[in-house]
Amino acid sequence: MSMPKDLEILGGYPILEQLAIELRDGYDPPMDYHNWDGHILKGLIRINEIQSSGMAIDVNNWFVVRAAYIGHDWGLTSTKKDPTLLDSYDCAEEMAAEKTRDCIIELGLGEAEAEQIYSGILGTNPNYPCETPEAKAICRVDLGNTGDSFEIFLRNFFSVQLEDKRIDQLLINPRSVVESTCNFLRLYLRRSELVLGPNDTFPSDMEKNILAIQSMGTSAIRSATELWMQRTRTTS
């Protein structure tokens, strides 16, 4: 089991280490993209980077941001296999939010902050609003590397398709898969909460990556997919 070796990655909050231990199993077995080592731990590092940059000037409670991020995809690996687990919830984010809120209350956190964590996790679903600066930061970090270099964007794009068992479809009808993914990402781009500060270029960088993959020809997408699969088999 991979756990942070110290509290630095968790911002110096011992309760967050306890929360991570309690929720870690909810990310097993690891998926190709939404996994503990890649999506969660790297996201926590990104939170530290955003906080240190001073860019998110309106965020006052970074504890809430970190706690929500730790739990925001809890149980997703199970619901992918058995969607009936979500029958009593509106979405996977609601299930994760409830689990994280209840868990951190049991660890001793007050209900007011726990509810902020709950609403912050809900905000990672594009159909729910981000009602606080903290929720905006959580949503932003959840989008991971979509605003980084196109190479990183493409690598994560393929990981998501593999996770959703759409690699074969990507080879058969690449345009359909690319457009559905880009349309989903644009649900977030329509939200002002992606902008964390006056000098924040993340939304425009994300849009550039979306336009870049949309501009790829069908044969280019197929070739890139096949190359990525070859590299994946070589390193696995």
Q: Contact, 182 vs 213, CB < 8 A?
A: yes
Residues 6+ apart with CB under 8 A from 187: 126
Q: What gap in Å lies between CA 182 and CA 210, rounded to an integer?
A: 6
- In Å, what is the CA distance from 111 to each residue of 116, 132, 191, 227? 9, 17, 28, 49
**Cα 21 from chain centroid (whole Å):** 19
Per-residue pLDDT, 108: 96
Global pTM reads 0.92
Residue 81 in tokens: 């296999």
Q: Across the chain, what does the average pLDDT equal?
A: 91
- Provide the pLDDT for residue 83: 93
CB 32 within 8 A of CB 163: yes
**pLDDT for the residue numbered 12:** 85
User: How far apart (Å, rounded) are the C-alpha atoms in residues 17 and 10?
Assistant: 7
Report the candidate in 161, 210, 216, 175 with the shortest Cα–Cα distance to residue 190: 210
pLDDT at 3: 61
Residues 6 or more apart whose CB falls under 8 angstroms from that of 113 comprise 61, 63, 64
- Residue 26 class from Cβ within 10 Å (0-12 exposed, 13-18 middle, 19+ buried)? buried
Handedness of CA 25, 30, 34, 37 (dihedral sign): positive
CB-CB contact of 118 with 174 (8 Å): no
Residue 4 is predicted with a pLDDT of 58
Lookup: tokens for 35: 């996994």
DSSP of 27-58, one letter per residue? Answer: G-S--SSS-IIIIIHHHHHHHHHHHHHT--TT
Give me the pLDDT at residue 230, please.
86
Residue whose C-alpha is closest to residue 101's, from 124, 86, 117: 117
Per-residue model confidence (pLDDT) at position 62: 96
pLDDT tens for residues 126-145? 999 888 999 999 999 999 78
Read off the tokens for 220: 């280019």
**Helices 202-214 and 174-189: angle between axes, nearest 10 degrees:** 160
Q: What letter would DSSP give residue 192?
A: G
pLDDT in single tens digits along all 236 residues of the chain: 556 556 778 988 999 999 999 999 999 999 999 999 999 999 999 999 999 999 888 999 999 999 999 999 999 999 988 999 999 999 999 999 999 999 999 999 999 999 999 999 999 999 998 889 999 999 999 997 899 999 999 999 999 999 999 999 999 999 999 999 999 999 888 776 678 888 888 889 999 999 999 999 999 999 999 999 888 777 65
